[in-house]
Structure 1
Amino acid sequence: MSGRRGLIGLGIGVAAAGVATAAGLATDRVVRARRARPDPAGVLDDPELEQRGTVVVADDGVPLYVEIDEPADPATGSAKDLATTVLLVHGYAHSHAIWAQQRRVIHEAGYRVVCPDLRGHGRSGEGDDTTYTIAQLGRDLATVIEQTTPEGHLVLVGHSMGGMALMALAEQHPQLIRDRVVGVALVGTSAGGLSEVNFGLGKQLGGVVHRLGPAAVARVDRRQDVFNAARLLGRNVESALVHRYSFGGPVPKDVVREVAEMIFGTRLHVIGAFLPTLMEHDRIEALAAFEGVETLIVHGTRDRMTPIAHGERLATTLPGAELVAVHGAGHVLPLEAPDLLDTELLAFLERAERSVSATRSDRPLGAKESR
C-alpha cells in the first residue's frame, strides 16, 4: 500500500510540474547519468562544446551555459541590421534544445542568436534551491545579455517560464527595454494566475494538485524506491503523460521522446523548487515596459498548462500586440507547430526591424490580430 501511495503522490507531483509530468518516471539509469553529468563550470574544457558553447557566471556564481550563433558573414550587406540579436529563452524543465528549428531558421535569415540554458536546466549549473525563482531568472538573463550582447538591438523570445523570465527582466531593467529591445515574442506563457489552472483535471482534483504537488515532487526526489516502482509502469505510460501535458494533438513519437529527455535532464528537486514561484508569478504590471515595442503572442488553444485565456490576457494588456492562436495545439509549440512558429517569428522579426527607424513615441502599434 505504501508503494501505491508513493505512486499516487508521484502522479500529483508530476501533474503540478506542468510539462514535467513524466519526470518522476525516470529510470535509475537516467538518474545515475544525470548525477554523473560533468560540472557545467568546466564545459569549456570539452573541445566539442568549446566550439559552440560558452559559460556566463550569474551574480551568485552559478555557471549558465549559452550557445551563440553569429551571422555567417556580417560584412556582406543587406537592408537587414545584422547587429540585431535574438535571445531565445526556453521554458520549465526544458533546455535551449527546444528552439533547435527556430534557431536555425532565424540564424539563416541573418540574425545573431543567443540561446541560454536557465539555471538548473540543460547544461547550466545548479544554485541553491532558494534561487529558483522567476526574479532570479530575470537577473540571470540580464547577466547573459551584459556578457554576450553588451550593445546593439535586441529581440526577446520566451516560451513558457522563459516568457515569465523576460517579464522579470523588464520589471528589473525597464531602461534596457526602452533603449535596446525592438521586439518581444511570448510563446505559451502567462503574466500570472497559474494557481487557478487545473491542468485539465477539473476544479477539485486541480486544487489537490496545487496543494500537494511541490511536496510530492520533493518526496519522490528523495526516494530511489519510488523511481524503481515507477519504472515498472513502462515507457508507454511515461510517453502518454508527456504527450498529454505537452501537446494538443498527434505528434511523432520521437518528438515526445525529445521532450521527455529534456525533462529527464532536469533534477526533480529543481522542478519542485520552481513550482512555488510559478504559482506566485504575477507580473501583469511589468508588461507596461513592453508598450511601444513590436510584440507577438503565440498560444495553443489546447494548452493545458497555460490555457489560451492567459495569451488573450497578454494581448488585452499590451495594446497593439498580435495574438496568434494555434488551433488544436498544446503547450510545446516550438516542437508541435514548428513551421507555423517559424513563419510567425520571421514575419515578427521583419516588423521589428522596420520599427527600428521609428522613435518609441512615433512607432505605430498596429491592430491586434487573432488567427
Structure 2
Amino acid sequence: MPAFARPHCFASALLAVLLAATAAGAGPQTRLVAGTDGVPICVAEAGDPQGPVLLLLHGFGQSHAVFARQFGGELARDFRLIAPDMRGHGCSGKPWTDAAYAGPAPWAGDLAAVLHASGVTRPVVIVGWSAGGYWAMDYLRVQGVAAVAGLVLAGSHGGLATAEIDPGLEARLATGRSAAAAYPLDIDQAIAQARQAPGRMAAQPLPEDIARVMSASTLMLPAYVRRHMSGWNLDNTDLAARLRLPLLFIVGSADAVAPPAQVEAVAAGLPAAEVRVYAGAGHATFAEQPAAFDRDVATFARRAYAATGMPQP
C-alpha cells in the first residue's frame, strides 16, 4: 500500500470499528449523497422518520458519530435527526483542491444537497456545535432563512462576536491558522494529537466511547484539508443585523473556546436569542450533559416549529 494512503485507511478502519461497537442499540443509519461538485457526503439519520428535522452539525475535525447520545436519547423519540459528515471530515469525500473548501458556497451547497436528498420539505432547526455553528452561518448566508425554523449554537458564537466582545479573537484565529497550516503529515504525530483531542473538549473526562470516537474522527481529517481550511473566513458579524431567527446558545461554564461571557454578549445584541449555561461543562455540552442538552434543544425546537405553524412533536 502506498505510504500516503496509510493514515486515511487506518483512521477509516478505526472509526468503522468504533461505530460498530457503539451502534449495538438503535444507532443511526448512514448513506452517501452527492454534495457540491459531486463530493460524496456521508449522512447519518436516526429518530422518527416523520418527525420535524433537527440538522446536527459536528465540529472541526469531528464527525456525526460524536452525537451518539442524541441518536439514542430524548431527541430521537420525537424528532428526525439528520447529521452529515462535512466535506473533508469523517466518512465524507476529501477533495484535494483548495477551491473545494474556499468560501461558504461549498459547505452551504452540501447542506442543501443533504436536505434535498433526504426529502426534507419543511423548515428545519439547525444544531451546530463549535465549527458547526460557522457552517450553519454559511448555509444561512448562501441559502437564506426560508428553510430554517430556528438555530441552536452549542459551544459557538458562529462568528457573530465583534472585536469588542472578543478582543483576543484575531490573535487566536492567527494561531489556529498557523497550527492548521503546520499540521503534521507524519502519522505518529497525528495519532499523538488525536489522542489529546477529547481532553480539550470537556471540563471532565468524556465517556470512553465518545472519547474514542473523537480521537478516531480527528485522524480522519487529512492534513491537506486542515491546511486548505487554514484560511477559512470566520467573520459573520455582518449577518447579525439580519438574523431574525429564534436562536438558542448552549455553552459550558468552563468552555474556553466559546466563553459564556462572550456568548452572552453576542446574544444580547440579537433580537430573538436566549442562552443556557451548563455549570461544570466544557466545550462538548451535548456529550457532557446530554440529558439537559436534549431537553433544552427539544423545548426550543418545539417553540420554533410552533412559530412556523408546523405540528408539534
TM-score of the aligned structures, taking structure 1 as reference length: 0.67
Q: 1:119 aligns with which of 87, 104, 120?
A: 87
From the superposition, tell whether residues 52 and 238 of structure 1 become closer, same or farther in structure 2 (CA, over 3 Å). Answer: closer
Query: Which runs of structure 2 are paired with 1:1-371 in the superposition (5 Å)?
Result: 32-34=9-11, 52-69=29-46, 71=48, 74=50, 82=51, 84-105=52-73, 107-127=75-95, 128-133=97-102, 135=104, 136-174=106-144, 177-178=145-146, 180-192=147-159, 209-210=175-176, 212-217=178-183, 220-221=184-185, 224=186, 227-228=187-188, 230=189, 239=195, 241-277=196-232, 280-291=233-244, 293-357=245-309
Q: What is the number of residues matched between the two proteins?
A: 289
- Look up the equivalent residue of 2:53 and give its one-letter code: T
Q: Quickly say closer, same or farther: Cα 1:238–1:33, change in 2 above 3 A.
A: closer
The alpha-carbon deviation at position 147 of structure 1 amounts to 2.3
Residue identity opposite 1:271 in structure 2: R
Given that residues 134 and 165 in structure 1 are in contact (C-alpha distance below 8 angstroms), is that contact kept between their aligned partners in structure 2? no
- The offset of 1:94, in angstroms, is 0.6
Residue ranges of structure 2 left out of the alignment (5+ in a row) = 15-27
Within 2, Cα distance between the matches of 1:289 and 1:103?
Answer: 32
Offset, 1:215 = 3.1
TM-score by length of 2: 0.79
Sequence identity percentage? 26
Output the amino acid matched with 1:64. I
CA shift, 1:249, in A, is 2.7
Q: Pick closer, same or farther for the CA change 1:151–1:212 going to 2, 3 Å.
A: closer
* Aligned residues of 2:194 and 2:219 also touching (Cα < 8 A): no
Q: Secondary structure at the match of 2:73?
A: helix
Amino acid at match of 2:151: V
User: For residues 146 and 286 of structure 1, do their structure 2 counterparts lie closer, same or farther at Cα, with a shift above 3 Å needed?
Assistant: farther
Given the superposition, is the C-alpha separation of residues 348 and 97 from structure 1 closer, same or farther in structure 2, using an over 3 Å criterion?
Answer: same
Give the counterpart letter for 1:341 in structure 2.
Answer: F
Contact 2:240/2:270, CA 8 A, preserved across alignment: yes
Change beyond 3 A, Cα 1:271–1:334:
farther
Cα distance per residue 1:237-279 (max 9 Å; x no partner)? 864x3244211234344443332121112212222322321xx
Deviations for 1:117-139, whole angstroms, at most 9, x for unmatched residues? Answer: 10011110012233224612122
1:141-192 Cα offsets, whole Å, 9 max, x none, are 1222222234123111111111111111111122xx23x3222111111333
Q: CA RMSD in A?
A: 3.3
* Residues in 2 aligned to 1:112 and 1:96: alpha-carbon distance in whole angstroms: 14
SS at match of 1:156: strand
Change in Cα spacing, 1:350 to 1:211, as seen in structure 2 (3 Å) is closer
The residue identity in structure 1 corresponding to 2:306 is: R
